[in-house]
Amino acid sequence: MAESAPTARTKTVKRNGAGAYEVSADICVVGSGAAGMSAALEAAKLGRKVILVDGMPALGGQAVNSIIGTFCGLFSNGTHGYQFTHLIADDFLHALEKIPNALYYRHGPHTTVVYYDEVAFGRWVEKSVQAAGVTPLLGAILRKVNVDGRRVKSLEFATRYGDVTVKATGYVDASGDAALAWQAGFACREPEQNRVFGTQMVVLENIDEAKQPTREEISAKMKEKGEQYGLLRREGLAFIIPGRGVAAMNVTHVETPLEPLAASEKALEGKDQAERAVHFLQTEFPECFGRSRVRAFGFPGIRQTRWIVGRQQLTADDVTNGTRFPDAVARTSWPIELHDHSSGHHWHVFPEDHVHYVPLGSLVPADGDNVVAAGRCIDADVAALSSVRVMGPCIAMGAAAAHALDLAGSGSVHQIDVAALQKRLTDNLDRTDKPW
Ligand SMILES: Cc1cc2nc3c(=O)[nH]c(=O)nc-3n(C[C@H](O)[C@H](O)[C@H](O)COP(=O)(O)OP(=O)(O)OC[C@H]3O[C@@H](n4cnc5c(N)ncnc54)[C@H](O)[C@@H]3O)c2cc1C
């Protein structure tokens, strides 16, 4: 036995208050998905002391841990559009371009989507957070928000190693479920009648790329034989990533309730659905999928659950009309992609020159002065949110949240100089050069 090895004689008992930690920062970001990582890295670039918290023991949110697999809404419509969102998007696109097969630009007939290797992207997030000096707090579930009037004073988290209190000047709610706004007692919204379904993503390995069927062939067969295989969703995609011999599959529709026991049950149902879809592909397209097997299930993919009541609600009409708001902070042209029925989704594509915008008003909770939401929990009606929750605009909203809190300092995000904010975000609002 090595001299310094611990011995069984070492004893310890829990003392009162042991394991309670307190940390402070200028900006605390809750949620490290596309929106939260962007907010944290951007705030750090501004010289702010940042703490980035996630309930999962890993960074990256759904982009990494649900294995989403493609960045959507990053480019304007048309086969070779211009890039809508820059800042950290430029950083990770350039970094992943250097890794063989980590990135693939699919210039489809409608727009460009970017396929990415989720493992490489996850490592990019982790290394970037470390290099930026952002303090990560992982496996930390928000369980209490202390509020004084219109200001959040501190957040309390539970971790397996003890409780942690975070005090900050400003807070970003990038939790996807408006966890911070909800626990602060701020008004929030949930879908009224039509639930929005989530999806269990699956990565299949050992596929034969050369024999891949077209999307249309898969869809037609799903419609014809879906019932026979017990498939709930009768459309969806297998994104075959060129050169990697793997496919990320998006072929289930799973309820994502906010009630904890039901959420757990549905998560397991999602995997059952996914296995049925894999069986369908293996049997109906044996040349491509016959020898495939599941390499990984993502964590449950959640689209829309609960979101804030902002100063303004983005509506489907705003999206369709391409309204440019005086306080616009993000843009995209991604279709309305509403997963509101179990067997499929509504898909409303916009013309080539279309752009729609996200106003700052839909990021700022009406009830709070030092909180900004970003990502899939901003204030939008169900159809509008189904477009602006894809990762391109989520990243842009994260950047906007960081800059808004930076400008607000110890004041109110409702009173910042919007022109100054937009000047900082000009690349995400007005740049139209093409990288091709
Ligand atoms: C199946 C599926 C497929 C999709 N496909 C695409 C696609 O191909 N391309 C695309 O661009 N977009 C796609 N989207 C949409 C997009 O992935 C998400 O909307 C986007 O990733 C949301 O990012 P976010 O940062 O807002 O939230 P999330 O990525 O959900 O991050 C929120 C984070 O907050 C943490 N959190 C939540 N509550 C708490 C709490 N109480 N305490 C502590 N931490 C908490 C979570 O652990 C999580 O990591 C898809 C979505 C789904 C579900």
Residue type, 225: K
| Burial class (CB within 10 angstroms; exposed 0-12, middle 13-18, buried 19+) of 288 | buried
Distance of CA 7 to the CA centre of its chain: 45
Q: How far apart are CA 212 and CA 169, in angstroms?
A: 52
Q: Pairing mode, if any, of strands 21-30 and 50-54?
A: parallel
Within a 10 A sphere around the Cβ of 55, how many other Cβ atoms?
18
Give pLDDT < 50 ranges for the chain: 1
Q: Pairing mode, if any, of strands 246-250 and 202-205?
A: antiparallel
Q: For a pocket test of ligand 1, which of 125, 175, 386, 387 has the largest count of ligand atoms closer than 8 A to its C-beta? A: 175
Cβ 306 vs Cβ 177: under 8 Å:
yes
Angle, CA 248 vertex, CA 243 and CA 253 arms, to 5°: 165
Measured from the CB, is residue 393 less than 6 Å from ligand 1? no
Which residue pairs from 18-22 have beta carbons closer than 8 angstroms and sit at least 24 positions apart in sequence?
Answer: 18/162, 19/161, 19/162, 19/163, 20/162, 20/163, 20/164, 20/165, 21/162, 21/163, 21/164, 21/165, 22/164, 22/165, 22/166, 22/167
Measured from the CB, is residue 67 less than 6 Å from ligand 1? no
Angle, CA 384 vertex, CA 380 and CA 389 arms, to 5°: 85
Q: How far apart are CA 70 and CA 10, in angstroms?
A: 50
Which pair of structure tokens corresponds to residue 98?
A: 């250097």
For 50-64, write each residue's pLDDT tens digit: 999 999 999 999 999
How close is the Cα of 246 to the center of ligand 1, in Å?
A: 22
How close is the Cα of 228 to the center of ligand 1, in Å?
A: 32
Nearest-CA residue for atom 16 of ligand 1: 390
Q: Tokens 């699956």 appear where? A: 202
Nearest-CA residue for atom 32 of ligand 1: 175
Query: Of 125, 98, 104, nearest to 31 (Cα)?
Result: 125
- Predicted confidence at residue 8, as pLDDT, reads 67
Measured from the CB, is residue 51 less than 6 Å from ligand 1? no
Measured from the CB, is residue 199 less than 6 Å from ligand 1? yes
Q: How far apart are CA 419 and CA 18, in angstroms?
A: 47
Q: Tokens 């294995």 appear where? A: 67
| Burial class (CB within 10 angstroms; exposed 0-12, middle 13-18, buried 19+) of 354 | middle
* Residue-range domains of the chain with CATH: 20-192+303-436 (3.50.50.60), 202-297 (no CATH)
For residue 256, CA distances in Å to 71, 340, 386 come to: 22, 12, 15
Residue type, 279: H
- Predicted confidence at residue 1, as pLDDT, reads 46
- Looking at the DSSP bridge assignments, the partners of residue 157 are 142, 164
Measured from the CB, is residue 40 less than 6 Å from ligand 1? no
Cβ 307 vs Cβ 261: under 8 Å:
no
pTM above 0.85, yes or no: yes
Give the CA dihedral 227, 228, 233, 239, nearest 10 degrees.
-150
